[in-house]
């Protein structure tokens, strides 16, 4: 069973990381069960970011082994993400959820087409497509997407108090 809470989905085996001959991580062994919530605590320079970059597969330059069970993925948000200076914060956020943005746009386009004249067959096709898109949006809880990114971008240090 893929979602078994007793199944280990990720393991680090004897992982070590060295920067300029200085060990940052030494002989780390850890495993995560499906559904586990983790936190990484430590002093500055203790290797937290290095550990997470290895866990996410971003850093491949380490000693040891990592294993991610098939069918599972690891997401990673850089501590200092590289953002495109030519884009607004909203555009950067939209890029991160592009699949959902595309679905919302398709849903809106479908609704605009309902104002156009069409025969019964075209109407039924459009209704079927609308239902499929709406089902995907419901599954992603995408109806709250706009208020969520509006909250983030209006409080952003890049755009304090106002979107551009």
Q: What is the pLDDT of residues 82-116, one digit of tens each?
A: 888 898 887 887 787 788 888 888 999 999 999 99
Q: Tell whether 33 is covered by a domain.
A: yes
The domain tally of the chain equals 2
Q: Tell whether 79 is covered by a domain.
A: no
- The answer to pTM > 0.75 is no
Q: Tell whether 164 is covered by a domain.
A: no
Residue numbers of the domain that contains 32 = 8-68
pLDDT in tens, 10-54: 999 999 999 998 999 999 999 999 888 888 999 998 999 999 999
Q: What angle do CA 18, 21, 24 make, to 5 degrees?
A: 35
Clarify whether residues 63 and 94 are in a common domain: no
């Amino acid at each position: 069973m893929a979602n078994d809470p007793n199944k280990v989905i990720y393991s680090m085996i004897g992982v070590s990381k060295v920067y300029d001959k200085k060990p940052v991580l030494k002989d780390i062994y850890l495993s995560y069960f499906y559904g586990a919530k983790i936190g990484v605590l430590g002093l500055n320079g203790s290797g937290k970011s290095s550990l997470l970059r290895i866990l996410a597969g971003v850093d491949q330059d380490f000693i040891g082994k990592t294993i991610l069970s098939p069918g599972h993925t690891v997401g990673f948000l850089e501590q200092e993400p590289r953002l495109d200076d030519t884009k607004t914060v909203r555009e950067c956020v939209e890029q991160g959820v592009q699949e959902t943005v595309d679905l919302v746009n398709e849903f809106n386009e479908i609704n605009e087409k309902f104002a156009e004249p069409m025969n019964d067959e075209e109407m039924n096709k459009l209704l079927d497509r609308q239902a499929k898109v709406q089902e995907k949006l419901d599954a992603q809880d995408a109806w709250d997407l706009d208020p969520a990114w509006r909250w983030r971008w209006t409080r952003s240090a890049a755009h304090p108090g106002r979107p551009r």
